[in-house]
Structure 1
Amino acid sequence: MLENADIPKCIWDVRNDADALWALYHVGLANVTDIQLLENASRASDKTYIRGLDKSIQFDLKLGFMEIHRWIRTKKEIQSRMLADVFSARPIDAKMAQYCANDVIHLPDLHALYLRRIQGDWLAMATEESARRVAEAHSPGYEPQSPTKKLGPWGSGAEKYIVTSDMLLDELEDKRMEDLERDMLGYDEDVGYYDYDEYDDWSTNAADGAFCPEALDSCWDKSG
């Protein structure tokens, strides 16, 4: 199924997942749409930086207060336990199961939203870039923790844009949600609360599957 080019797959930031599947099992993903790239390509404004899954769920789906609260709380609790090799424990506990579900449950809604927003040739460009990301992850020189991964593929000069009233309202809503999140969970000056979810690919998540403590430094052992 994963290698079948006739079966579409939708993933948020496919790079480390493609790297793991290829290095560990020699499975090459095909026909992947990277929803993170759809979000970037669908913007009417600056495309310089990609956005993490957390921010997109919080600000694009406009979920209810309590649902957002539960989602953020679960994410933060499990990420604080990552170094304890929590994914190898069996049976998996309820909080871990919810964390894993959180990583995928909103992807269909995000996918549909960005498809409605995207215009012109941007969908074809996002599809092409999704395939390029998979190929890059298969290369021997792939760096899973590279600081350049936070950059979008098209930069800030790829398009001209007009600031509309709807865009301004969206920005105001995003600011309101950030203030709400700060009040709800607080801000750690040493760690930087908003750093934990800025880029999903910088932190190990449920999709990594074969997580081990050494993965933070070397990611996947490609020697075998």
Structure 2
Amino acid sequence: MASERKRSEDLQAVENYFNKPAAVVKEHGIQPEDVWNMDETGFRIGEDQAFAMATSNSAASLISTGEELEVFISSISPSSTLYLDLEGKSLCRHGTISLITILLHPEGVVKLVDVATLGDSAFNTTSKDGKSLKTILEDSGISKCLWDLRNDADALWALYKVGLAGVIDLQLLENASRTGDKTYLCGLEKAIRLDLKLGFLELNRLTSTKKEITSLMSTNIFATRPLEPKTLQYCTNDVVYLPALHDLYLGRISIHWLAKAQEESSRRVDEVHGLEYDPQSPTKTRGPWGSGADQPSLTLDEELDRLDDYLMEQRAEELDRLDDFLLEERAEELDREMFGYDDEDYYDDGGPTNCRDIIDDCDYYLYYSD
């Protein structure tokens, strides 16, 4: 028994133990919802009821025709929440939109709208009741959630004149609900890893899929048809975890910070409509609230300007103190030149030294008596 325990402590043996089932899952395309605990309760390994992932009632599918899109649009209820993510080549005003992944919650339906194939009709196709994807995205009465909406909203507005409304940026919600330092924003993959209780197999699948598709993005993988199963899974991964994250952050945020996150989400949409918006700005990694105080975060140039102002103020104060010191020194020198000091630094102005020198002799008895 002791020898078996010793062999089990070998790091390579432990890695092999976990890598073998992961390889089987990858080889056979086993989905997380098909992995069960030994007691067959139906919860995936490493998860509990509080963090159950929103899985689709049916497999995610691609919408590439107007008829399919019309049916999907008709199925969207005003009470549903839309969790969205866009993909394209250099996704922003300077790039393209190839796919829009939409998770309807709580229905659990995941659809990918094929913008690369449908073009403008992806947004203009209307259902029998007059709804279109454009009107839904612009309807402030229909809740929508994205993780870092900026480049998505930028591309929608610049390329198709679709203005998002009724949207909350979950990246801002995470930052606002965070109890620690809020200086830097968090990416979706990191948030999933840190905030959700994913099992080893699911986390491994998520990471490997992201790594594989990311390596192919230079080939315009999102516009390739037919759509690869891995690409479909990658897009699905970007939305299926959002409801759980949304619930988690709402549960830990204060009303004050929730209002700030909602306000900043709207401000982000307005920002990307402006000509000055830079999709690749290095400042996009920083949160809007600095370390968490009510002061807004500053750009690098603004921080340098503030530092220059501070140093100038400090220098001015030092010069003022030096001027005051020199004036005092000069005043003392003048005093010494005009009035002089004795050897014991006793100040002698040649004036009276006792009360008899001050009070006239005739009045002295009024003040003192022997």
TM-score above 0.5, yes or no: yes
Q: Which residue identity lines up with residue 150 of structure 2 in the other structure?
A: R
| 2:286 alignment partner, one of 140, 143, 151 | 151
RMSD between superposed Cα atoms in Å: 0.9
After superposition, residues 6-155 of structure 1 pair within 5 angstroms as 6-155=141-290
Structure 2 distance, partners of 1:20, 1:112, is: 28
Shift in Å, 1:157: 4.4
Q: Which residue identity lines up with residue 55 of structure 1 in the other structure?
A: K
Q: For structure 1, which runs of at least 5 residues remain unmatched after alignment? A: 160-224
Deviation sequence 1:116-142 (CA, Å, 0-9, x none): 010130000000000000111111111
Q: Which residue identity lines up with residue 138 of structure 1 in the other structure?
A: H
Structure 2 distance, partners of 1:88, 1:46, is: 39
What residue is the counterpart of 1:187 in the other structure? none
Where relative contact order (Cα < 8 A, 6+ residues apart) is larger, the structure is 1
What residue is the counterpart of 2:61 in the other structure? none
Number of residue equivalences = 159
Structure 2 distance, partners of 1:157, 1:74, is: 34
Q: Which residue identity lines up with residue 215 of structure 2 in the other structure?
A: S
Tell me which structure has the larger Cα radius of gyration: 2
Structure 2 distance, partners of 1:101, 1:157, is: 32
SS state at 2:269 partner:
helix
What residue is the counterpart of 1:165 in the other structure? none
Instruction: Point out 4+ residue stretches in structure 1 off by more than 4 angstroms.
Output: none
Q: Share of identical aligned residues, percent?
A: 63
SS state at 2:249 partner:
helix
TM-score between both structures, scaled by the size of structure 2? 0.42
Structure 2 distance, partners of 1:9, 1:120, is: 19
What residue is the counterpart of 2:40 in the other structure? none
SS state at 2:255 partner:
coil
What residue is the counterpart of 2:71 in the other structure? none
Shift in Å, 1:36: 0.4
